[in-house]
Amino acid sequence: MALVRRTAAPIADLERDVAPRGREQWVADLASDDTSMRRRAAQALSRMPDAVAAICVHLANERSLSVRSIILTGLIVHKSPGVVRGLLPLLGSEDANLRNGAIEALQQMPDDVAPHVEAMLGDPDSDVRIFAVDVLSALAHPMVPEWLRRVVTLDPHVNVCAAALDALAEAGQPEVIPALEELANRFADVAFIRFAVDAAIRRIRGR
């Protein structure tokens, strides 16, 4: 989901409102049935670093795409360990739009995501592990190739390994080739893995 900054009210009006109303009043407005009121509250709260926990909790239940976008943009601005902790549970959301928004936001917080990678890749739900690999696929962190190598070496689920294989085809260096060849042997009965491994190795060597 592309994160687009939206403005529902003139900035001057919003700045006049933020101080008098206070954080708790804006948080209460997030429960409104009026989308425009929730949007205005999200804009105000996105300017308050101490509102991160509240808007993370609300994000999981917000149905308006425009309000979600405002919240996610604000969370990226205030990126921190607390923001990452608030977004990680959304990797298990059944709402694809919400989940993808969380993935895109997490991809922009490499240093804060890094301490959570092992737990993400060890989640008992294979779908969550796939989405964790999606986060890594565009995470600007020097450990990404090694994290992905561990996935193709250790993860028991073929679809998780396939996701990591795709990412390594983009980010991998020649030192990961032995792990890719072993992956093909480990899933020798899965034809598309052999094909994908060969393609990834050609691409890596071609770089």
Residue 11 has pLDDT above 60, yes or no: no
Q: How confident is the model at residue 147 (pLDDT cuts 50, 70, 90)?
A: very high
Looking at residues 153-172, what average pLDDT do you find? Answer: 96
Q: Helix, strand, or coil here: 114?
A: helix
pLDDT score for 7: 46
Residue 150 has pLDDT above 60, yes or no: yes
Domain boundaries along the sequence of the chain = 1-108, 112-207
Mean pLDDT score of the chain: 91
Residue 17 has pLDDT above 60, yes or no: no
Structure tokens at 40: 């205005």
Share of the chain above pLDDT 70, in %: 90
Alpha helices in the chain (DSSP H): 11-21, 23-29, 35-45, 52-59, 65-77, 81-87, 96-107, 110-113, 117-121, 126-137, 144-154, 158-171, 177-186, 191-206
Residue 45 has pLDDT above 90, yes or no: yes
Q: Which residue has the higher pLDDT, 164 or 172?
A: 164
Question: What would the pLDDT profile of 61-86 be if each residue is shown by its tens digit?
Answer: 999 999 999 999 999 999 999 999 99
Please, is 19 exposed, middle or buried when counting C-beta atoms within 10 Å of its C-beta (0-12, 13-18, 19+)? Answer: exposed
Superfamily of domain 1-108: Leucine-rich Repeat Variant (1.25.10.10)
Residue 1 has pLDDT above 70, yes or no: no
